[in-house]
């Protein structure tokens, strides 16, 4: 009987000890959970403030129309903003442009010109601010005031003119043929299975490659996937342009280096078919072409990570085809350079700030 009582007593002590441990652990878990939840809340708030993904589905026709409306309004009392127009249209149609018609933008422009504001028109559009922020990251420095050299009427020399409009360029120089199709998202198998994050512009080896937008060179050299390639960061830091598969032996303009500043319309390199090799300066790409891509960077943590945002630039390339940089070859150096220079104070101010 005494043995049984002692056993029950020890069991009771053991049970109380277990309960005590459970209470202590539960308290610690609650505190840890509270800290974790607090951190998660902050992280969630940060995540909501930083765009994590963009599907850019705006057709060239819509960009072209919005651009014309923007340019045509500059001498009027009410000036239209092409990014606002496109963002409003995307919010209206749920980012589905399959049934796009020019009259949709004409109707929107008419409402604005009649006195309604964009704030009034979009007050009930839940995702307008998202599209405006996303499209601004893509298109912000595409349109504005600039100065460019133009030929004199007598054909002798050139002079500067102030203009307003599209101030970015096709990545292929004027007078050079290329073809392309919408290949964004297609599968690639070299190295590992992945998707294509750019637009391939098929052309002849040696075709001068143009800086679509001005910026600072952040990457220049060999990459086993892209071969000889150049990476240029826009002056406002929002866009990273990637030009890959450049020419064997003579891929770049010789004076370029990491840190160099280039203008929109500058010659930066030459089309080729290098890449798909660990060994440098190897032609392993069957079809000569330029891989042209654009990465959006809303936060520096997105620059080189699994959170990279690459957009489909196919329609943008179609738009830029209306603006090609004319180039000339130096017979001694074999280098190409632009014929008409450009001055873009608005974009350079981003670099200074």
| Secondary structure class of 46 (helix, strand, coil) | helix
Q: What is the pLDDT of residues 4-25, one digit of tens each?
A: 334 344 444 444 444 444 443 4
Rounded to whole angstroms, the Cα distance separating 245 from 61 reads 29
So what's the pLDDT on residue 49?
74
In this predicted model, what pLDDT tens digit does every residue of 111-140 receive, in sequence order? Answer: 999 999 999 999 999 999 999 999 999 999
Check if the beta carbon of residue 242 is closer than 8 Å to that of residue 294.
yes
Query: Bigger pLDDT: 156 or 296?
Result: 296
Residues of the chain with CATH 2.70.70.10: 169-352
Closest CA to 210 of 177, 234, 180, 174: 174
Q: What is the pTM of this model?
A: 0.84
Other C-beta atoms lying within 10 Å of the C-beta of residue 302: 18
pLDDT tens for residues 19-62? 444 443 444 333 233 333 322 323 333 445 789 999 999 999 99
Pairing of strands 239-244, 289-296: antiparallel
pLDDT at 186: 87
Q: Which CATH superfamily is domain 169-352 in?
A: Glucose Permease (Domain IIA) (2.70.70.10)
Reduced to 3 states (helix: H, G, I; strand: E, B; else coil), residue 120 is: helix
């Amino acid at each position: 009987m005494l043995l049984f009582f002692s056993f029950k007593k020890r069991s009771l002590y053991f049970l109380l000890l277990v309960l005590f441990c459970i209470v202590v652990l539960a308290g610690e878990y609650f505190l840890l959970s509270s800290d974790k939840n607090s951190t998660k809340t902050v992280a969630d708030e940060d995540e909501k403030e930083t765009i994590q993904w963009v599907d850019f589905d705006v057709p060239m026709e819509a960009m072209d129309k919005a651009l014309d409306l923007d340019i045509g309004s500059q001498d009027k009392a009410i000036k239209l903003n092409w990014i606002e127009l496109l963002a409003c249209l995307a919010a209206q149609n749920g980012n589905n442009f399959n049934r796009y018609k020019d009259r949709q933008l004409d109707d929107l422009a008419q409402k604005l010109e009649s006195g309604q504001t964009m704030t009034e028109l979009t007050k009930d559009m839940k995702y307008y601010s998202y599209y405006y922020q996303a499209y601004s990251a893509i298109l912000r420095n595409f349109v504005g005031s600039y100065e460019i050299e133009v030929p004199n009427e007598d054909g002798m020399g050139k002079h500067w003119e102030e203009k307003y409009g599209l101030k970015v360029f096709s990545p292929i120089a004027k007078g050079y043929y290329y073809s392309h199709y919408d290949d964004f998202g297609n599968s690639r198998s070299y190295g590992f299975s992945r998707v294509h994050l750019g637009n391939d512009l098929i052309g002849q080896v040696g075709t001068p490659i143009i800086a679509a937008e001005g910026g600072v060179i952040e990457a220049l050299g060999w990459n086993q996937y892209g071969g000889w390639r150049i990476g240029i960061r826009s002056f406002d830091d929002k866009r990273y342009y990637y030009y890959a598969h450049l020419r064997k032996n003579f891929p770049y303009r010789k004076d370029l280096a990491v840190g160099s500043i280039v203008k929109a319309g500058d010659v930066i390199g030459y089309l080729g078919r290098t890449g798909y090799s660990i060994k440098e300066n190897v032609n392993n790409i069957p079809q000569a072409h330029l891989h042209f891509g654009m990465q959006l960077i809303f936060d520096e943590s997105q620059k080189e990570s699994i959170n990279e945002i690459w957009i489909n630039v196919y329609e943008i390339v179609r738009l830029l085809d209306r603006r090609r940089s004319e180039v000339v070859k130096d017979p001694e150096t074999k280098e190409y350079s632009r014929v008409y220079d450009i001055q873009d104070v608005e974009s350079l101010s981003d670099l200074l700030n």
